[in-house]
Amino acid sequence: MDFSGKAVLVTGASQGIGRAIARQFAARGARVAVHCHRNRRAAERTRAGLPGGPHLVVEADVGDAGAVARMVDAVAAGLGGLDVLVNNAGIHEPHPIAEVSYAEWQACWRRTLETNLLGAANAAWCAARHMMRQGGGRIVNVSSRGAFRGEPAAPAYGASKAGMNAMSQSLAKALAPHRIFVGAVAPGFVTTERTAPFLDGPEGEEVRRQSPLGRVATPDEVAYAVVFLASAGAEFTTGTIIDVNGASYLRS
């Protein structure tokens, strides 16, 4: 999978899965825009660790539609176009219905949908405009196993990822005539900076036992699936949702 000279924007790339995605694209010759919301220092560390280049760091609140448009335009200007968008940025906030106030419930749903779903939709709209002018491109959305099995402690998160899957399939149909191919990757638990405290705690072993492999995914395993969907030769997979959960959850 060769991405020499391709311009790639990865949202939420300052750490974890996003950082692994950025590294894998850069290792295959891409010029990468590393997005962050507030943690610019971490994003700069990600950029500094990428081979090749030139690479960019862009900062934006993906829940802000205007900021998303400015970010995508800045990436296209800075990298001389935009070939691949990876919508990876997202939030996960526990809000079990029996334990939060009505105000907390509404606020969490609003923040989660604005970031995880509307932010991705807006980035896709903006990126598609540049890709149409270039004659094609790729959009890959990072979803979640929770879109299928449910997220009782964080229902807005599960709903946002289910919406992302539906959006991916709708856009795959709408954008195929423009040679813009769209797919999604749905990971289960992944070892990252955010999940490490939970996986190292008392519930970690139970989570690992959910997979017959007896472990959770690495960020690079998720990144590999993203890179595949964005690669030349994978066009006929458009509309696909790839599960990366080690058979911990199998859907029909």
Residue 120: both structure tokens together:
């991705």
Q: What single-letter amino acid sits at 69? A: A
Residue 239: both structure tokens together:
């509309």
Query: Strand, helix or coil at 2?
Result: coil
The maximal CA–CA distance of the chain, rounded, in angstroms, is 52
157 a catalytic residue:
yes
Contacts made by residues 133-138, CB under 8 angstroms, sequence distance 24+? 134/81, 134/82, 134/83, 135/179, 136/178, 136/179, 136/180, 136/181, 137/82, 137/83, 137/84, 137/85, 137/179, 137/180, 137/181, 138/83, 138/84, 138/85, 138/180, 138/181, 138/182, 138/229, 138/230
Say which of 102, 157, 224, 249 is annotated catalytic.
157
List residues with catalytic annotation: 157
